[in-house]
Structure 1
Amino acid sequence: MNRRSLILSGLTSSLGIFITKAIGILYVSPFTQIAGQENTAFYSYGYTFYDFMLQLAIAGIPVAAATLISRYVAKNDLSMMLMVNRFMKRVLFIVGIISFVLIYIAAPWIVPFIIGFKASSASYDITLIVIRFVALAMFITPVLSSYRSFMQGMKEMRIYAFSQVLEQIIRVAFLLGVSVLFVNVFNFDRIYTVYVAMLAASVAGLVAIVDLFIKERRIIRSLNIDESETPQLHWGLFLREVFSISIPFLIVSVLSNLESMVTLFGFNSTMLALGVKEVDVNILFTIIMFTTKKLISIPHVLALGFSIAIIPYISESFTLNQKTNLRNHIYDAIETVLFIGLPMVTGLFVFSKEIYYLFYAEYAFVGGPVLQISSIQTLLSVVSPVLVNILIVLQLRRKVVFSLTMAFLVKLFIFVPLIYLIGYQGAVVSSIISHIMLVGYNLFTIGHTYGFNYSRVRSRLMLMLMATLSMALVGYAFIFFGWHSIIYDTRVMTFAKLIVSGGLSLITYGVITWFFGLPQMYILQRKHKHASN
């Protein structure tokens, strides 16, 4: 694949992720209105647990499948490609069955660790049902990933991205449609909306599987493969390849998600031990781990979408031992993420209450400050995966594992003390501290290994920070003079006012960075890279 195709594929995939994230944000507001904030907590328990278990169950296997399929297609060994595809589908099907059985059986023991041992029996029963719906989704999603890995290996990234969007649309449509039907038509208890929401993941997964199955068969037929031919496969060598590709991804993926598990299994127990009411604990967990996380996910996708294109250049420069180009490409990746991420994070920080009120209405005076603190974590967690990817490309996987392990241990050890010290905000502050350690260590590792001093990054970062500070001052001026009022404004008025205040703040950032020539530098660098194709 040439550079332009690789970049286009990366951006196409990022676009699919961005659309699914956008839909994922927009559905939360009507869903919380239907389910109620107190019930949404049970959905957030299942959502967080499902996300981690999915990474644990399948991380690396779809990547290995896509890599091997792509390799045999490049060799024009289509019969072998077909055999690999079928084998990996069987593997992921078995993984799905095992995941379903284990989670379903273990659910009664898992639930107390999530909701806290002091939680009520009613909360236990509801969460138990939610986790068992997660078990069903854990059977379907690995099968879905097996079809997506085929599309990825065949470089059919448009089909891959469409599948992501289709799944999200079906999930949200089913979730909201059936929830309204249950609550407003059949007058069911609002807790049933949570069960519907968990079931929606399985329904959407099935629809996406059918869509990909049809498209996969069409692609295979177009290749005119002799399916009766049985190629010889050296199983020992093949399995060694699968493990060598999948295990590193599995380790990195699991370590990256362990931080969420600390909050999932530690937050409720700690807050209940402090004497906080169970209903308040549920609401706080929802704000920290669900509604706020939805809002901060957009900067992740946008920043990573623009930075993903630089990774192939880093890989090429590393392979050819071009140290000057390698340094410049790494600087480009870091600076691009900062240039895009800083204004977004600043907007979230300055207008946190207004943004939270716009999307969720309820509990904006609690959710706003949480979003404000989380925006700091957002910038760090946007930079962090870019640095991790760079370290992996530079063959520094052991350093990645070490840094992620240290970040997890830092979070684990300071999580409870910080909550005891400063309250529920300690859950977010502990993540900020662990991410500072992670980003700092990874920057040091890259710089120390290759002799980079980041002088260019530091000078441009100072200019970005000047522009960011000016942007923040403009935003705070609107707030100081009473432009925003979430007490008296409707959500429509808040949206209109945010367009004005947020827009002028963003223009301030754009004008100042343009004055210092930052956007022009990145445009010239991108043109130079394309010209070198």
Structure 2
Amino acid sequence: MASNLLKGTMILTVGLLLSRILGVLYVIPFYQLVGEEYIGLYQYAYVPYSIVLAIAVSGIPIAVSKFVSKYNTLGDYATGRKLVKSSMLLMAVTGVLGFLVLYFLAEPIAHLVIKDKDTLITVQDVATVIKYVSFAVIVVPVMSLIRGFFQGYQHMTPTAISQLIEQIVRILFVLSGAFLVLKVFDGTEKTAVSFAVFAAFLGAIASLFVLYWYWKKLRPEFNDLLKSSGNATSNVSLKNIYKEILVYTVPFALVGVINPLFQFVDMITFNRAMAMIGISGKESGIYLGMLNLTTHKLVMIPVMLATGFSMALIPYITSYYAKQDFAQVRKSLDQTFQILLFLTVPAAMGISVLASEFYLVFYDQSDAGTAVLAHYAPVAILFALYPVTTAILQGIDRQKLIILNLLVGILTKLVLNTPFIKMFETDGAILATACGYTVAIVLNIVAIRKTLHYRSEMVIRRVFLIIVVNLIMLSLVFISKWSIEHLFTVDSKLEALVVIIVCAIIGAAFYGYVTLRLGLAQKLFGERLTKYTKKIGF
């Protein structure tokens, strides 16, 4: 199980990593095309789009994978097939309804987040980009359903590849559209952003074609499993199927919406709170763009590991929980928490230490952008832990607790956001986000402990060891950065990239050497790693 879980996680993680890297890299030329003042218009469209999308479909892949995995474990392959066939039309209708809601609510949403009188971006500008991005909602529900079906059979590759192709196609249209509008047709930055957000629809169409290709390729395997089960028709009624799927989907729809909902809280409170302390709408709009788009893109890179884990973990936990094999459930939890923190902590903290270089490489030299990124990057650890803890609760059928804990976390963010922004400006919004996520994660862990009687002294010891090694490694990276900056002034993208590469190599070499020497890496990643490390003397 451990090796299969790790393999499935790595497939999803590699796909998500490449997709996330592309999702960050394209911002570099796009930022240069539209400029710092108009980049914020892009995030004004994507935050409400992400919320509608999360409510409509974000729980579908995980819910369907959980449902299919459960019935496949019981030898009932027909019920999963019945779900997919009957849900295609339902998902298509859901997509159209989601599109209509977002399209016709575009202007009211725009009035919520911005005022015309003191900003470059008007209410009409925000409404326009929201309408353009709403078309993508039509396609995504069907796409999510098919991805979930594949994951239920532990086929993670179709999801990973389709996500990657979706991102590539979207980025090509974002950049080519913006370039043509601005450089060929002499259009405005606002028009370029409108075309850029419409690219989400084109990327989703491309992803759907990839999934269809995989469906044709894997259909013989699915048919063979159906025949071998000796039960070609399902005895479970559609009513019971949809009831069970709804129970699975609702919590994860809310889980998927937590990050964009936190961003939406910033959208409706940030500019007003900053105005209360005398900061102009133009300046606060730039800071909000840094918080919700430019730095957020970088902060979310380490989080892709958690997303891969949560998607791959649920079918396995569901399967063992259905068999009442609690020893395997606890073993999978031990492995997940350790590997997650082993990889996420150094990535998040490394971005924080090298914040000035990262912001210069991807955007421009900016003291404000550097400060926001440096303070925001460690929150990625919380962003990573949250989906994994909710995936565990979903796997052990504690959906109501997921909803309750999520609502408490969002309420914490909502209550603290305005007073924290008034006290600490942009850092206040970051702090409120950290507090909201921490509350939700702690409540999730308490629920896991009570339900599974899960407590591992070994995990606590290893997490403590990971933290200690990371602190030493980060000190070494900081000294390396300080030494380089005293040799020459870092004021170009190439020089900043050199600093990042040199410091990353030094940090990774130290982290790898120490964790291999201590035997920690071998214990986490199993026999395959041990086989290679023995050859080099570890």
Relative to structure 1, the CA distance from residue 218 to residue 377 in structure 2 (aligned partners, 3 Å threshold; closer, same or farther) is closer
Deviates more, 1:6-15 or 1:429-438: 6-15
Residue 244 of structure 2 is aligned to residue 241 of structure 1: yes
CA change 1:527–1:99 in 2 (3 A) is same
Distance (whole Å) between structure 2 residues aligned to residue 75 and residue 519 of structure 1: 35
Alignment of 1:49-448 (within 5 A): 49-65=48-64, 84-116=83-115, 120=119, 122-153=121-152, 156-213=155-212, 215-216=214-215, 223=223, 234-255=237-258, 257-302=260-305, 305=308, 315=318, 318-319=321-322, 326-362=329-365, 364-448=366-450
Separation in 1, partners of 2:234, 2:514: 62
Change (3 A) 1:397 1:167: same
In 2, Cα distance between the equivalents of 1:13 and 1:98? 29
Structure 1 position 516 matched with structure 2 position 515: no
Instruction: Quote the offset at 1:412 in angstroms.
Output: 0.7
Q: Distance in 1 between matches of 2:382 and 2:81?
A: 41
Q: Which has the larger displacement, 475-484 or 73-82? A: 73-82
- Distance of 2:133 and 2:199 partners within structure 1: 10
Decide whether the 8 Å contact of 1:463 with 1:513 is kept in 2: no
What SS class does the counterpart of residue 397 from structure 2 fall into?
coil
1:219 CA displacement: 5.4
Q: Could you tell me how far apart the structure 2 residues matched to 1:310 and 1:217 are?
A: 26
Q: 1:308 to 1:114 in 2, by over 3 A?
A: same
SS at match of 2:269: helix
Alpha carbons 2:147, 2:211 under 8 Å: kept: yes
Could you tell me how far apart the structure 2 residues matched to 1:180 and 1:240 are? 48
Per-residue deviation, 1:215: 4.9
Contact 1:16 1:161 in 2 (8 A): yes
Return the alpha-carbon distance in structure 2 between the equivalents of residues 498 and 209 of structure 1: 37
1:270–1:485 distance in 2 versus 1, CA, 3 Å: farther
- Does the Cα contact within 8 Å between 2:382 and 2:437 map onto a contact in 1? yes
Kept in 2: contact 1:486–1:494 (CA 8 A): no
Deviation, 1:406, is 1.3
CA contact (8 A) 2:68 2:152 kept: yes
Distance 1:215 1:127, change over 3 A: same
AA partner of residue 423 (structure 1):
E
Aligned residues: 524
CA apart distance, 1:289: 0.7
Q: Report the CA distance between 1:515 and its aligned residue.
A: 3.6
2:119–2:282 Cα contact (<8 Å) kept: no
**Equivalent residue, structure 1, for 2:18:** 19
Q: Secondary structure at the match of 1:270?
A: helix
| Distance in 2 between residues matched to 1:74 and 1:449, nearest whole Å | 22
1:499 paired residue number: 501
- Identify the range of structure 1 (183-192 vs 118-127) with the bigger mean alpha-carbon deviation: 118-127
Change (3 A) 1:317 1:271: same
CA distance in 2, matches of 1:70, 1:313: 8
Match of residue 536 from structure 2: none
Partner amino acid, structure 1, of 2:130: I
Range 166-175 or range 336-345, more displaced: 336-345
CA drift of 1:420 comes to: 0.6
Displacement of 1:163: 1.4
* Cα pair 1:118 1:269 within 8 Å, conserved: no
Q: 2:22·2:167 contact (CA, 8 Å) conserved in 1?
A: yes
- Aligned equivalents of 2:125, 2:74: Cα separation in 1: 52
Q: Structure 1 residues 208 and 414, CA, compared in 2 at 3 Å: closer, same or farther?
A: same
Distance 2:133 2:500 in 1: 37
CA distance 1:59–1:488, change in 2 (3 Å): closer
- The answer (yes or no) to whether the contact 1:3–1:312 under 8 Å persists in 2 is no
Q: 1:318/1:120 Cα in 2 relative to 1: closer, same or farther (>3 Å)?
A: same
Describe the shift of the 1:216–1:433 C-alpha distance in structure 2 as closer, same or farther (beyond 3 A). Answer: same
TM-score normalized by the length of structure 2: 0.86
Residue 476 of structure 1 is matched in structure 2 by 478
CA distance in 1, matches of 2:379, 2:156: 31
Deviates more, 1:16-25 or 1:155-164: 155-164
Determine helix, strand or coil for the equivalent of 1:276.
coil
Q: Secondary structure at the match of 2:289?
A: helix
Amino acid aligned to 1:341 = T
CA distance in 1, matches of 2:314, 2:62: 17
Distance in 1 separating the partners of 2:154 and 2:2: 13
> What CA distance in whole angstroms lies between the structure 2 residues aligned with 1:415 and 1:152?
37
What is the TM-score normalised by the length of structure 1?
0.87
Query: Which secondary structure does the structure 2 equivalent of 1:191 belong to?
Result: helix
Of 487-496 and 24-33, the range deviating more from structure 2: 487-496
**Within 2, Cα distance between the matches of 1:169 and 1:403?**
35
Q: Which runs of 5+ in 2 are unaligned?
A: 531-538
CA distance in structure 2 between the aligned counterparts of 1:449 and 1:67, rounded to whole angstroms: 19
Question: SS of the counterpart of 2:485?
Answer: coil
The aligned amino acid for 1:367 is: G
Query: 1:157, 1:210 → 2: CA distance?
Result: 17
Per-residue CA shift, 1:255-278, capped at 9, x if unaligned? 565323212222223223433222
Give 1:141 shift.
2.3
Amino acid at match of 1:299: P
Aligned-residue offset at 1:487: 6.2
Identity among equivalent pairs (%): 26
- Deviation at 1:494? 1.4
> Is 313-322 or 180-189 further displaced after alignment?
313-322
Residue 531 of structure 1 is matched in structure 2 by none
Q: Which amino acid aligns with 1:422?
A: F
Contact 1:403 1:441 in 2 (8 A): yes
8 A contact 1:267–1:285 mirrored in 2: yes
Report SS of the residue matched to 1:187: coil
Which is worse superposed, 229-238 or 278-287? 229-238
Query: Contact 2:53–2:98 (CA<8 Å) still a contact in 1?
Result: no
